[in-house]
Amino acid sequence: MIRGERLRDLIPMKPEAFTVLLTLLHEPGHGYAILQAAKADPGARGDLQPGSLYRLLARLLDADLVAELPASEVPGDADTRRRYYRITALGRAAVEAESERMAALVDTARRRLVGAGSDL
């Protein structure tokens, strides 16, 4: 269960890292596209700046959650001057695990809030 152990190390995830992984779930993207998508994410906290983005990408690349797309796989109509990043299988698993953790947390919170008399 190497993967399981590694996942445990990765969870809980920094919110910014989670946001970046979410933007890559459906398709690979380059730096600017990730920034734009992250900005559009309703749960995003503030603006992600290029400096922070690349420091984050460095961590995600090192942790194998994200991989650089080989030049041969870059979509034909894409801007070839840019580097594209895709989410790895481990990254996808980490997003799932993090979502489950958060969902469980939210469930607990809701139950207790109801118990405390809130409308939620």
Partner 1 sequence: MDARNLPVRASVWLYRSLLRIFPAWFGRRFAVEAAQVFADVAVAAYSSKGLLGLTLLWGRTFSDLARGAWQERGTYVSLASLGATLRSAPRAFRREPWFSAAVILTIGLGVGSATAIYTLAHGILLRPLPFPGSERVLALCEVDPQTVGYCIASPPNVRDLGAMTAAVDHAGVARTWRFRRQDGSDSTPMRVGIATPGFLRAHEPSLLHGRLFTESELTPGDNQVVVLMHSFWQEWAGGDPGVVGGPITLDGKDFTIVGVFEPDTWFPQFEHALAWAPITATPDNPDQRGWRGFVSVARIVEGVSLEQASAELEANYAILAAEYPEDLAGWDLQVERLRTQMTGDAVPAIRLFGLAVTCLLLIGCANVANLLIVRAQARAPETAVRAALGAGRTRLAAQLLAESLMLSAAGGVVGIGLAVVLVRAGIGYAPPGIPRLGEVGIDLNVAGFALALSIVTALVFGLVPALRVTRTDVGVVLRGGRFGDADAARMRRAILVMELALAMTLLTGAGLGIKGFAGLSNWEPGFDQEGLVITWMVADFSQVESGAEMVESFDLVAHVVAALPGIAAVGQTSTGPLFGGIETDELRIEGEQPGGQLSMAQHFDIGPRYFETLGVPMVRGRGLSDSDTAEGAPVAIVNEALVRRYWPDGDPIGAEIAVGEHVATVVGIVRDTLPFAPGELVRPSVYWPKRQYTRGATYLVMRTDLAPAEVEKLVRERLAAEIPLVEVTPFSALRDLAGQELVSPRFQIMLLSTFALTALLLSSVGVYSIVAYSVAQQSREIGVRLALGAHPRRIAGEVVRSGVRLALVGGAIGVLGALALARTLEAVLHGVSSTDPLALASVATLFVLIAAIACWLPARRAARVDPVGALRG
**Contact footprint for partner 1 (CB under 8 A):** 30-32, 35, 47, 49-55, 57-58, 81-83
Beta carbon of residue 103, minimum distance to partner 1 (angstroms, whole number): 30
Residue number, 8 or 55, with CB nearest to partner 1: 55
Do residues 91 and 21 touch, judged by C-beta distance below 8 A? yes
CA distances from 13 to 10, 63, 95, 116 (A): 6, 12, 9, 29
Indicate the residue among 21 and 35 with the shorter CB distance to partner 1: 35
Identity of the residue, 62 or 77, whose beta carbon is nearer to partner 1 in the bound complex: 62
The CB-of-36 to partner 1 minimum distance in angstroms stands at 9
Q: Give the DSSP per-residue string, 19-60.
A: HHHHHHSSS-EEHHHHHHHHHH-TT--SPPPHHHHHHHHHHH
Nearer to partner 1, 21 or 57 (CB): 57
Secondary structure (3-state) at 66: strand
| Min dist. Cβ of residue 62 to partner 1 (A) | 10
The beta-strand segments (E) located in 64-106 are 66-68, 84-87
Tell the smallest beta-carbon distance from residue 97 to partner 1 (Å). 25
